Structure formats: structure tokens, C-alpha cells
């Protein structure tokens, strides 16, 4: 079979920087030898400024490989600190980094790899209010966030600023990777117009994630970032790459930009009015719940996923899918009050609000979820 033609390169968003030094040529020799890459592409990388949102499971390989590839400046945006449960997949951090800000830990790791890479650690959560400020002056944004609010804030800012965005997500054994580029292809909101209802999608902490899958997906994201920055090959613009790690099958899904004339990305909106707090009788403290359970006075309902319950469960808890509680199809006994629980209290609060809105005045939820239960009642409960 004759060799297949290489896809026409896209125009790069970065102008080449200064000529490479001798040590730089030695360091990047394997990349310089790539057909169609060469010194010009390497100089583009050295001149590039990339924002990586999230220094966790996806951010770890992205930051490592972009620094190793020779990206000149990295802005690492993350407001979290390193915890023991992170180390299973967030390989940028180590035991010595426990309690340290992830942005600072990432900067230390990059400095060990290449002191010549400029790293700006930003210990803030990216929001609609600060996104434009944090991303200003960047050539590309890599979205490795772990929540929908941040994802949409990143996407809307990239649409306003005209920045290419490399997107990735992982959950359990599944993953997605794509490149969103306003003006050249689909944007994040073209594919995902609005976030899902709060609590309807489990987080990695709740549903689990295969650690090595973060490395696979983060590496693909780094490859796409390098391709965009250097104008090499055909990036995943207008395509979403979907991975099922259990069968190790990849498939590319075509996506399309909204029609011309569609409304532009929304400007930052004011924060919504906070929801009315639950009445006192709708919230049960862990020690009070322990007393009620011992007396047999309440029915305990677990709205977490089956995978979460396999890791840790409270004795006697009845599993009921959150979706059934929210849509009213859950058949909950009425012979005694019900107390709902999840991992942190966020999903069970949604559930109790739904039940009370339908007249179930005896419904309550465990304040702080299993995390609070483990802290105040049973420290042996595995909830990390």
C-alpha cells in the first residue's frame, strides 16, 4: 500500500521564538527529527504560553509532557491541595506533597524536569468572574477540570477570547478527548449546550476512576496541544474521541459548530441567588442519626451508585437510585421517617428537597454524608 498523505496542517496560533541553543537542540533532538516538525515547531513550543486548568488526574500527564516537550510557559490553575486519595492517579504529586497546593506541587515537579520552563501557579478556582483574567495572554487552554461549573467557565472564556481549548474527561473506565476552537470548529457548548442537573452525574470521587486511564487520556490531550501549538497534523477539531477502556476501543464522533449567526458565548453572569436553607428538621447530624438508627426510628436510604456502595455502606441502608427519588418514581415506605444519605450530602440534599416538594414532610438527610459519619461516628469507614 502506498504511504498515506499527511493531513494538511492547521495554522499555528504561536509565532516561532528565538533560535534554539545547542543544549536545547540536544534536549529536543527526538522531536526535531520528526518529519514536518523540525526547529520551527520547537521554537513555537518554546514561545507558547499554555494554561492548564486542573493539576489532578488529567493535568498531571498534561503538565509533565508539555513541560518535557518544551512549552515555554505554563499557567497552572488549581485551588485544591494534594490528598492521599489523589496519589492513585495524580502522578505529578508524591507523598512529600501531601497538604501542599496542587499548583505549587506542579510547579516544583516541572522545575525538577526543566528549570527553563516558566510556571505560574494560580491557587484559585477558575470561575465565570475570573476566567478572562486568568486566561488572558495564553495561546491555548487545556481543560482538565473535575466539575461542570469550571468546564463551562473555561469553555465560555475560550469562546470569548478566541482561544483553542483541549478538552478531556474521565469517569470509571470511560473517557473523551476533543479540541474546541472558536471560529475554526465546534466549541464546547456546541457539543454540550448546558450542564447536567446538579447531582445527576457522579464525580470521580463517587463513581471511581481507573488511575492509568488518566495517564492515557492526559497524554492524548498533550499530543493534541502540541499539534495545535505547532500547526502539525490534524488536531481533533470537530471530532470527539471516545474511549471505552474495558474493551480498549476508540471511536471518533463527528461534531459540528452551531450555525452562523448563533448567539455568542454568554458573558459572565452574576451568581444565582442561593437556595433557601432546608428547615432544621430536614437535616440530621451524624450522631443523632446513629441514635435514631439504634432505636429503629427511621429508614436509612442510600442514593449513591452501586459502585460506591461496594466500597463502603452503612448497615441497614436501603439503596434507591437518586434519579428515582428526583423524578418521583422511588417507592419509599411511609411507616416511618426516611433519612437519605450520599458521600458528602450534596446529592442527598437534592433528594430531600424533591421529596419535601412532593409533600413528604418526614424526609431528612444526613448532614455532611458519609464523610461526616466517618469523622464523627465511625472512623474505620473507607470513604476516601
Half-sphere exposure of residue 166: CA atoms within 13 angstroms, side-chain side: 29
- 3-class DSSP state of 174: strand
Residues with Cβ within 8 Å of 293's Cβ and at least 6 positions away in sequence, in order, are 300, 314, 316
For helices 369-376 and 286-294, the axis angle rounded to 10 degrees is 80
- 3-class DSSP state of 287: helix
Among the listed residues 138, 158, 204, 214, the single catalytic one is: 204
Among the listed residues 138, 158, 214, 342, the single catalytic one is: 342
- Is position 214 annotated as part of the catalytic site? no
Helix extents (H) in the chain: 22-27, 29-32, 38-47, 59-69, 102-113, 131-135, 148-161, 188-191, 204-207, 211-230, 286-294, 306-311, 322-327, 346-357, 369-376
- 3-class DSSP state of 358: coil
- Is position 158 annotated as part of the catalytic site? no
The H-or-E segment that residue 303 falls in is: none
Catalytically annotated residues = 204, 342
Amino acid at each position: 500500500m502506498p504511504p498515506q498523505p499527511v493531513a494538511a496542517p492547521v495554522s499555528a496560533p504561536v509565532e516561532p521564538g528565538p533560535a534554539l541553543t545547542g543544549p536545547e537542540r540536544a534536549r529536543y533532538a527526538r522531536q526535531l527529527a520528526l518529519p514536518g516538525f523540525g526547529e520551527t515547531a520547537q521554537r513555537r513550543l518554546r514561545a507558547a504560553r499554555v494554561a492548564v486548568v486542573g493539576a489532578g488526574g488529567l493535568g498531571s500527564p498534561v503538565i509533565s509532557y508539555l513541560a518535557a516537550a518544551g512549552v515555554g510557559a505554563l499557567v497552572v490553575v488549581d485551588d485544591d491541595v494534594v490528598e492521599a486519595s489523589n496519589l492513585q492517579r495524580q502522578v505529578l504529586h508524591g507523598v512529600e506533597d501531601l497538604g501542599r497546593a496542587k499548583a505549587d506541587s506542579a510547579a516544583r515537579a516541572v522545575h525538577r524536569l526543566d528549570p527553563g520552563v516558566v510556571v505560574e501557579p494560580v491557587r484559585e478556582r477558575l470561575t465565570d468572574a475570573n476566567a478572562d483574567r486568568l486566561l488572558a495572554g495564553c495561546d491555548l487552554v487545556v481543560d482538565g477540570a473535575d466539575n461542570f461549573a469550571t468546564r463551562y467557565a473555561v469553555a465560555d472564556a475560550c469562546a470569548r477570547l478566541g482561544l483553542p481549548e483541549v478538552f478531556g474527561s474521565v469517569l470509571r473506565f470511560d473517557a473523551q478527548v476533543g479540541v474546541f476552537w472558536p471560529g475554526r470548529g465546534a466549541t464546547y457548548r456546541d457539543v454540550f449546550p448546558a450542564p447536567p442537573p446538579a447531582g445527576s452525574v457522579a464525580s470521580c470521587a463517587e463513581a471511581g476512576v481507573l488511575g492509568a486511564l488518566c495517564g492515557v487520556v492526559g497524554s492524548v490531550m498533550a499530543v493534541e496541544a502540541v499539534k495545535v501549538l505547532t500547526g502539525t497534523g490534524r488536531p481533533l477539531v470537530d471530532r470527539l474521541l471516545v474511549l471505552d477502556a474495558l474493551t480498549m476501543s476508540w471511536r471518533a464522533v463527528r461534531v459540528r459548530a452551531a450555525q452562523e449567526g448563533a448567539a455568542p458565548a454568554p458573558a459572565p453572569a452574576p451568581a444565582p441567588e442561593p437556595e433557601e436553607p432546608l428547615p432544621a428538621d430536614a437535616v440530621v447530624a451524624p450522631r443523632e442519626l446513629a441514635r435514631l438508627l439504634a432505636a429503629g426510628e427511621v429508614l436509612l436510604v442510600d442514593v449513591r451508585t452501586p459502585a460506591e456502595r461496594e466500597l463502603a455502606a452503612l448497615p441497614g441502608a436501603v439503596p434507591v437510585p437518586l434519579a428515582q427519588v428526583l423524578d418521583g418514581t422511588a417507592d419509599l415506605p411511609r411507616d416511618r421517617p426516611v433519612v437519605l444519605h450520599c458521600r458528602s450530602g450534596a446529592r442527598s440534599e437534592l433528594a430531600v428537597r424533591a421529596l419535601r416538594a412532593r409533600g413528604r414532610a418526614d424526609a431528612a438527610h444526613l448532614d455532611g454524608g458519609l464523610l461526616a459519619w466517618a469523622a464523627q461516628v465511625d472512623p474505620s469507614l473507607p470513604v476516601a
